[in-house]
Homo-oligomer: A and B are copies of this chain.
Amino acid sequence: MNELTLDKIDFAILTELQHHGRLSNQELAQKVGLSPSPCSRRVKALEDAGYIAGYSTLLNAEHFNLALTVYIQIRLEKHTSETLEAFEKDILNYQEVQECSLITGSEADYQLKVLVKDMQNYKLFLLDKLTVNPNIAGIHSSFVLKNVKSSTAIPIN
């Protein structure tokens, strides 16, 4: 986790990798104008310094019949640290939840992004996992009609 001063080539490497996570070192080297050896050394250094958090495979949700994305805003009853921690711990265990953030600027305390097969399964998620929680004071659901953009890339330039 040493500090590293990134140059143009490092940014080029990261930009390439953000979009093509399984590019071979050889191809990557060619794209950024380096020979393979320094390229792999740089990638390794970027990993060791913590710039690269991990690699992931993106699946096609439609092929798994996961057709319903819902953004849920949740208001809690109390705001003690115990209540918040207990709620967050529960959320971490729910596979349907892709994102959960503590937010400010609206009436809600938390916003969740949830992925389920259909409305029936969303109902089950709400009933079995959220409404059973006595600390939840209010839930508001916004259903996604169309996914316009969805990117794991962050703006590093």
Q: What is A's interface to B at a CB cutoff of 8 Å?
A: 14, 17-22, 49-61, 63-64, 66, 69, 71, 88, 91-92, 95-106, 108, 110-111, 115-116, 140-157
Q: Within the oligomer, what is the number of copies of this chain?
A: 2
Q: Given the known A-B contacts A63-B50, A64-B156, are A56 and B21 also in contact in the complex, defined by CB atoms under 8 Å? A: yes
Is there an interface contact between A142 and B57, defined as CB atoms closer than 8 Å? no
Within 8 Å by CB of A104, from B59, B64, B88, B145, lies B145
Cα distance, A148 to B91, chains bound together (Å) = 8
In the complex, what residues of B have CB within 8 A of residue A140's CB?
Answer: 105-106
Contact partners of A92 in chain B: CB under 8 A: 148-149
Contacts of A155 in B (CB 8 A): 66, 95-96, 115-116
Q: A20-B54, A101-B145 are in contact. List 17 more A-B contacts (CB 8 A).
A: A20-B55, A21-B22, A21-B55, A21-B56, A21-B57, A51-B59, A51-B64, A55-B57, A55-B58, A56-B58, A69-B101, A71-B103, A99-B151, A102-B146, A105-B140, A106-B140, A115-B154
- Could you tell me if B88 and A157 are in contact, using CB atoms closer than 8 angstroms? no
User: A87 CA to B143 CA in the complex, in Å?
Assistant: 19
